[in-house]
């Protein structure tokens, strides 16, 4: 009798040593930053080779549920809706019967939760239940649950670490894109006896897809432009930054007639965006002595000129840049600006801003504001317009980048 007691005690000690050694081995592999495949192979070796379980399946949730490990089971597991079929199991459960084609092939479900969230379900076979009692293998379930917990929490920590690295990289990319945009916007807009020019821009996010520019070409000639790229995010912002730099570079070395320039820009946008994005663009060439404004509107919201009473939209031009390999037509518009004429350029974030009743701010309301406050300096007018836009949207967030670029020619 005593010999049997000693033997049982020795078996218990060996089992405890085995469990401790197994846990230390898995923990050491995790601390050494071993690959997930190596860690799961170690888990498989312990459960299959050392504990003797010949059939088990481990489901693990990362971005979505997937089968992390399958041993000795040939059934279809990809079609299984893990969330629907296993979420009811909150603790180690012996399976007596199940309507699930997968679950019914196993004896035990071992759930693993971390911070109240299900991370894994381990389905085990080889546990016998007879005459109201489990065989010895059932006593291993708690240990296997602990082992599984360590493995899947390590996997979850690796996933979160990767996400943090990606988020940090994304944040750095945003900072670079934002810095590039700020460098490319004109720093000083003129306010003198010839003209008063002011712009205001609020991106929806850290970086945006709107752009405006003012480029002097000597003493009497100027380029005025505004643009909006389709899509959002870093890729859209980088495309616009490249577009800005291209325009600046082209005008730095020589002058182009507007028609030739539009063909060049369309080709460059197509090459950069590969047909996945396009840019709406308005560009004007103004000669201060002759007071002639030539322009091309490439699918952009129609800028307008006004003397405070009469309004004219500037709509002549072509389709947006990057929509087709070749621009099918280009019409160059021309206007002679009388004294005290105002040119108003804007992006769709202004006129398509919605209020709580889903009404657009609209072009008519923008024109009305320009006329109501016509004597003001352009900077003050822009401040009033943005104040009205904030009032219009109320508690709603901006849904698009918002830019206003106003030019008064005396």
Task: Indicate left, alpha or beta for 308 from its phi (over 0: left) and psi (-120 to 50: alpha).
Answer: left
- What is the model's pLDDT at position 170? 73
Residue ranges of the chain with per-residue pLDDT less than 70: 1-13, 15, 129-136, 177, 180-181, 184, 206-207, 253-254
Pairing of strands 279-287, 221-229: antiparallel
Q: Rounded to the nearest 10 degrees, how much is the dihedral formed by the CA atoms of 249, 251, 252, 254? A: 120
Residue 265 tokens, joined? 């820009």
- What is the model's pLDDT at position 253? 65
Strand partners, 203: none
- What is the model's pLDDT at position 242? 82
Select the CATH number that applies to the domain covering 2-162 from these four: 1.20.1510.10, 3.40.30.10, 3.40.228.10, 3.30.450.40: 3.30.450.40
Q: Please name the residue that has the structure tokens 């840019």.
A: 279
- What is the model's pLDDT at position 131? 58
**Nearest residue to 264 (alpha-carbon basis) of 189, 326, 343:** 326
Please, are residues 253 and 198 in contact by the beta-carbon 8 Å criterion?
no
- What is the model's pLDDT at position 54? 93
- What is the model's pLDDT at position 2? 57
Between helices 378-393 and 363-372, what is the axis angle to 10°? 140
Is 181 exposed, middle or buried (CB count within 10 Å of its CB: 0-12, 13-18, 19+)? buried
Pairing of strands 317-318, 311-313: unpaired
Domain boundaries, given as residue ranges, for the chain: 2-162, 185-409
Determine the Cα–Cα distance for residues 59 and 370; give it in Å rounded to an integer: 63
Between helices 2-31 and 36-44, what is the axis angle to 10°? 170
Is 394 exposed, middle or buried (CB count within 10 Å of its CB: 0-12, 13-18, 19+)? exposed
List pLDDT tens digits, range 274-314. 888 999 999 999 999 999 999 999 999 999 999 999 999 99
Pairing of strands 93-94, 133-134: unpaired
Between helices 2-31 and 141-184, what is the axis angle to 10°? 10
- What is the model's pLDDT at position 343? 98
List pLDDT tens digits, range 83-141. 999 999 999 999 888 888 899 999 999 999 988 889 999 999 988 766 556 666 777 88
Determine the Cα–Cα distance for residues 340 and 210; give it in Å rounded to an integer: 27
According to CATH, the topology of domain 185-409 is Phosphatase 2c; domain 1 (3.60.40)
Determine the Cα–Cα distance for residues 172 and 192; give it in Å rounded to an integer: 39
What's the half-sphere exposure (Cβ side, CA atoms, 13 Å) at 203? 22
pTM for the model: 0.62
User: Distance of CA 12 to CAs 5, 52, 180, Å?
Assistant: 11, 17, 67
- What is the model's pLDDT at position 339? 95
Strand partners, 56: 71, 124
């Amino acid at each position: 009798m005593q010999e049997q007691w000693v033997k049982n005690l020795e078996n218990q000690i060996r089992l405890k040593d085995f469990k401790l050694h197994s846990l230390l081995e898995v923990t050491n592999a995790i601390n050494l930053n071993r690959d997930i495949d190596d860690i799961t192979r170690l888990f498989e070796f312990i459960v299959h080779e050392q504990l003797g379980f010949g059939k088990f399946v481990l489901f693990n949730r990362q971005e979505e549920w997937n089968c992390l490990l399958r041993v000795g089971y040939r059934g279809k597991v990809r079609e299984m809706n893990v969330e629907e079929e296993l979420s009811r199991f909150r603790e180690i459960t012996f399976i007596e019967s199940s309507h699930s084609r997968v679950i019914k092939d196993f004896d035990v479900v071992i759930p693993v939760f971390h911070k109240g969230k299900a991370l894994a379900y381990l389905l085990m076979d080889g546990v016998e239940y007879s005459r109201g009692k489990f065989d010895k293998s059932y006593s291993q379930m708690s240990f296997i649950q602990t082992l599984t917990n360590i493995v899947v929490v390590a996997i979850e920590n690796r996933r979160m670490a990767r996400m943090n690295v990606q988020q940090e990289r994304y944040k750095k990319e945003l900072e670079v894109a934002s810095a590039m945009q700020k460098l490319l916007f004109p720093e000083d807009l003129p306010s003198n006896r010839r003209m008063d020019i002011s712009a205001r821009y609020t991106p929806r996010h850290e970086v945006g897809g709107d752009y405006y520019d003012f480029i002097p070409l000597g003493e009497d000639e100027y380029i005025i432009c505004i643009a909006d790229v389709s899509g959002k995010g870093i890729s859209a912002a980088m495309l616009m930054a490249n577009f800005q730099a291209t325009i600046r570079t082209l005008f730095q070395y020589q002058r182009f007639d507007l028609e030739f320039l539009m063909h060049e820009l369309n080709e460059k946008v197509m090459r950069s965006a590969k047909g996945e994005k396009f840019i709406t663009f308005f560009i004007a060439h103004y000669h201060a002595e002759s007071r002639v404004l030539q322009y091309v509107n490439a699918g952009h919201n129609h800028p307008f000129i006004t003397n405070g009473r009469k309004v004219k939209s500037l709509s002549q031009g072509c389709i947006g840049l990057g929509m087709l390999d070749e621009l099918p037509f280009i019409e160059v518009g021309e206007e002679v600006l009388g004294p005290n004429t105002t040119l108003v350029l804007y992006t769709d974030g202004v006129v398509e801003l919605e209020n709580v009743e889903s009404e657009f701010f609209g072009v008519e309301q923008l024109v009305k504001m320009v006329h109501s406050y016509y004597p003001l300096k352009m900077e003050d007018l822009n401040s009033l317009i943005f104040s009205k836009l904030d009032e219009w949207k109320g508690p709603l967030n901006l849904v698009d980048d918002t830019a206003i670029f106003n030019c008064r020619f005396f």
